[in-house]
Amino acid sequence: MVESANISDLQDRNDRVIAKLARIATNDTVFGGVKALVLAKRLDRIGSQIDAECIVGNVYSASIGRALPQYRPCLCPECGQAVLGEDAALNCYLGLGEDYED
């Protein structure tokens, strides 16, 4: 298990947007509401490169009440760099880089 990071620690702006959107979607599943879906549609309308509706759909369909591992900001156990997702943190630790796929 890797340690959680703050969203503001993520270096990439798109990663911060994804993590924030996933957090809002998680809150929607716990407390009710569709705020994340409204934000996702707004991002799509302004031409964002992020597939926001897909991210929100993944979180809504999981409905586990906590952040999904792929959208959670995590710290690399070795260097302490904040990255998006547990797999990315472990890949950084193992020196496999961001492009490594299982």
Q: Is residue 100 part of a domain?
A: no
- Work out the pLDDT band at 94, boundaries 50, 70, 90: confident
Using the 8-state DSSP alphabet, how is residue 83 labeled? Answer: E
pTM for the whole structure? 0.81
**Using CA atoms, how far apart are residues 26 and 50, in angstroms rounded to an integer?**
18
**Using CA atoms, how far apart are residues 65 and 30, in angstroms rounded to an integer?**
6
User: Please, how many CA atoms are within 13 Å of residue 47, restricted to the half-sphere of its CB?
Assistant: 0
Q: What is the total count of domains within the chain?
A: 1
Q: Is residue 2 part of a domain?
A: no
Q: Is the distance from CB of 76 to CB of 5 less than 8 angstroms? A: no
Q: For residues 102 and 62, which has the higher predicted lDDT (pLDDT)?
A: 62
Q: Tokens 């999981």 sit at which residue?
A: 62
Q: How confident is the model over 37-54, as pLDDT tens digits?
A: 999 999 999 999 999 999
Using the 8-state DSSP alphabet, how is residue 69 labeled? Answer: G
Residue 2: pLDDT above 90? no
Q: Is residue 69 part of a domain?
A: yes
Q: Is residue 101 part of a domain?
A: no
Q: Is residue 49 part of a domain?
A: yes
Residue 24: pLDDT above 90? yes
Q: Which domain holds residue 49?
A: 7-94
